[in-house]
Amino acid sequence: MANRGPFNLYEFFAGGGLAGLGLTGFRTTFANDLDRAKAASWRANHADPDILKLADVWDLTPSDLPGRADLAWASSPCQDVSLAGARGGLDARRSGAFWGFWRLMTGLAEQGRAPRLIVIENVMGLLTSNQGRDFAAVCQALHDGGYVFGAVEADAALWLPQSRPRLFIIASREPVAGGEEGEHPFHTGRIRAAQAALPDELKAGWIWWRLAAPARRNTDLAALLQPDQSAGWLDETSAAALLDLLSPLHRARLDAVIASGERRVGAAYRRVRTENGAKIQRLEIRFDGLAGCLRTPAGGSSRQFVVVCEGGRARVRRLTGREAARLMGLPESYALPASEVAALKLMGDAVAVPVVRALADQILRPLLERGVRTAA
Ligand SMILES: C[S@@+](CC[C@H](N)C(=O)[O-])C[C@H]1O[C@@H](n2cnc3c(N)ncnc32)[C@H](O)[C@@H]1O
């Protein structure tokens, strides 16, 4: 696969390259990740594999970055939301990968090569971590770098049968008129609260980006699953032991679905919950047609299960890497790692392709095209 288009893209924290695949109209001229397995997947799915530099973002310098990017995309690591710490000196690396990326953006600006647009993707927790100071620190950096900016909350569930809310901070070096607050579903309460808590100086540079909701989704989780006969089901004893972890409420939910006799597909995760002061492992199940948010499996415990009820019984199995790839909006031609755990890790960390495409189509390319026209 290759992304081709008139606009140059730097893809930071590139993982399996899903951001680049969603960015229609962009051509990746530089990509970076420090994880060897992720880099191998990026390269296996890209026509120009050598573009990806396998390195810690802190070890890069502006001279590694070719030309000028129209867009720098940074899906910095989710667990790395504590951003407000030290940003320089010996402690710099510990202050988070985001600041390694930002150091490069600053270096490019000093050379007159600041990217025209920047997108920072992260988990919603970035809005509130450290009492909102992390989000304010990112906004301050963008402001100081000469960018106007705003954020949207987009849940992949609008496009795909996976619940996956994510934060997209979109920043432009060129002035923009940016719409009204709260005029559509992507200016959620969480976004509005975080924006309201920013200092006035940062609020002044805020843009309410406009993004239209997609047409109603017409696929559910069941539509993306592999055929039952080729699936590796848990044996009855293992399935029963797993279902024993359901809370009374979730057990009742499952029993009602089984009793209907109809074919219904659910998704379930094991979670540790505190009940009556004690930590207890629970299985949590949903039958709303969505998979739960894909996560990076740590020690196998956070792997998602598929529960298929039919003819008065429930069968259980693990979600596969290919099914996870479909839940991220990838085509069947996307080459996954041979190991299921590696494939699930790759997908659990990734960004959903149709969400990126919507941002590219409705916000990013129009901004750049307008700029090109203005410049001409
Ligand atoms: C949230 S994932 C982004 C995935 C990507 N957007 C995709 O769709 O596949 C974050 C990525 O950052 C990489 N990463 C973490 N720390 C890094 C660092 N210091 N330098 C470079 N890459 C890093 C991880 O290996 C991971 O692939």
Instruction: State the distance from the centre of ligand 1 to the C-alpha of 173, rounded, in angstroms.
Output: 25
Which atom of ligand 1 lies closest to the CA of 100?
19
pLDDT of residue 2: 57
Residue that has been written with the tokens 């890497």 in this structure: 321
Lowest mean pLDDT among 71-80, 200-209, 241-250, 267-276: 71-80
Which atom of ligand 1 lies closest to the CA of 76?
10
8 A C-beta contact, residue 266 and residue 254 = yes
Return the H-helix or E-strand segment holding 40.
helix 36-44
Instruction: State the distance from the centre of ligand 1 to the C-alpha of 68, rounded, in angstroms.
Output: 22
User: Per-residue pLDDT for 36 more than 50?
Assistant: yes
Name the residue at shortest CA distance from atom 2 of ligand 1: 349
Which atom of ligand 1 lies closest to the CA of 11?
6
For the chain, count helices (H), then strands (E): 12, 11
Distances from the Cα of 329 to the Cαs of 49, 87, 159, 299, in angstroms? Answer: 22, 36, 9, 26
Average model confidence (pLDDT) for the chain? 90
Torsion-angle region of 243 (φ positive above 0: left; ψ -120 to 50: alpha; else: beta) = alpha
pLDDT of residue 82: 56
- The Cα 302–Cα 40 span in angstroms is 24
Instruction: State the distance from the centre of ligand 1 to the C-alpha of 181, rounded, in angstroms.
Output: 31
User: Per-residue pLDDT for 81 more than 90?
Assistant: no
Name the residue at shortest CA distance from atom 26 of ligand 1: 15
**Which string of b and e fits 280-302 if b means at least 16 CB within 10 Å?**
eebbbbbbebbbbbbbbbeeeeb
CATH number of 7-212+351-375: 3.40.50.150
Instruction: State the distance from the centre of ligand 1 to the C-alpha of 60, rounded, in angstroms.
Output: 14
The secondary structure of 42-110 as a DSSP string is: HHHT-S-GGGEEES-GGG--GGGS-S--SEEEE---TT----SS--SGGGGGGG-HHHHHHHHHHHHHH
Instruction: State the distance from the centre of ligand 1 to the C-alpha of 286, rounded, in angstroms.
Output: 29
Instruction: State the distance from the centre of ligand 1 to the C-alpha of 13, rounded, in angstroms.
Output: 4
Instruction: State the distance from the centre of ligand 1 to the C-alpha of 332, rounded, in angstroms.
Output: 23
User: Per-residue pLDDT for 1 more than 80?
Assistant: no
pLDDT of residue 194: 96
In this prediction, residues 65-75 reach a mean pLDDT of 97
In this prediction, residues 41-55 reach a mean pLDDT of 96
pLDDT of residue 157: 97
Residue that has been written with the tokens 């307008």 in this structure: 370
8 A C-beta contact, residue 135 and residue 123 = no
In this prediction, residues 175-188 reach a mean pLDDT of 75
How much of the chain exceeds pLDDT 90, in percent? 77
Name the residue at shortest CA distance from atom 25 of ligand 1: 35
Phi, psi of 41 (to 5 degrees): -70, -40
User: Per-residue pLDDT for 5 more than 80?
Assistant: no
Instruction: State the distance from the centre of ligand 1 to the C-alpha of 183, rounded, in angstroms.
Output: 32
pLDDT of residue 7: 96
Query: How many CB atoms are closer than 10 A to CB 238?
Result: 11
Which atom of ligand 1 lies closest to the CA of 97?
19
Taking 3-state DSSP, the helix, strand and coil percentages for the chain, each rounded to the nearest 5, stand at: 40, 20, 40
> What residues does ligand 1 touch, defined as CB less than 6 Å away?
13-16, 18-19, 32-35, 38, 56-57, 75, 77-78, 97, 100, 349-351
- The Cα 346–Cα 338 span in angstroms is 12
User: Per-residue pLDDT for 288 more than 90?
Assistant: yes
State the angle between helix axes of 36-44 and 340-348 in degrees (0 to 180), rounded to the nearest 10.
Answer: 90
Name the residue at shortest CA distance from atom 13 of ligand 1: 13
Instruction: State the distance from the centre of ligand 1 to the C-alpha of 98, rounded, in angstroms.
Output: 10
In this prediction, residues 55-60 reach a mean pLDDT of 96
Q: Of the residues 122, 349, 353, 359, which should be mutated to test ligand 1's pocket, given the most ligand atoms within 8 Å of the CB? A: 349
Q: Of the residues 1, 34, 81, 160, which should be mutated to test ligand 1's pocket, given the most ligand atoms within 8 Å of the CB? A: 34
pLDDT of residue 376: 30
The secondary structure of 209-275 as a DSSP string is: ---PPPSPP---GGGGSPPGGGS-BPPHHHHHHHHTTB-HHHHHHHHHHHHH-S-EEEEEEEEEEEE
8 A C-beta contact, residue 81 and residue 138 = no
Question: For 124-176, how does the pLDDT look when each residue is reduced to its tens digit (9 = 90+)?
Answer: 989 998 889 889 999 999 999 999 999 999 999 999 999 999 999 999 999 88
What pTM was estimated for this model as a whole?
A: 0.94
Q: How confident is the model at residue 66 (pLDDT cuts 50, 70, 90)?
A: very high
Instruction: State the distance from the centre of ligand 1 to the C-alpha of 35, rounded, in angstroms.
Output: 7
218 vs 71: which has the higher pLDDT: 71
Q: How confident is the model at residue 324 (pLDDT cuts 50, 70, 90)?
A: very high
**For the chain, how many residues are written?**
376
8 A C-beta contact, residue 25 and residue 360 = yes
In this prediction, residues 315-339 reach a mean pLDDT of 97
Q: How confident is the model at residue 374 (pLDDT cuts 50, 70, 90)?
A: very low
Which atom of ligand 1 lies closest to the CA of 328?
8
Name the residue at shortest CA distance from atom 15 of ligand 1: 77
Which residue in 338, 330, 344, 339 sits closest to 296, CA to CA? Answer: 344
Question: What residue ranges do the domains of the chain occupy?
Answer: 7-212+351-375, 227-319
In this prediction, residues 296-311 reach a mean pLDDT of 80
User: Per-residue pLDDT for 329 more than 70?
Assistant: yes
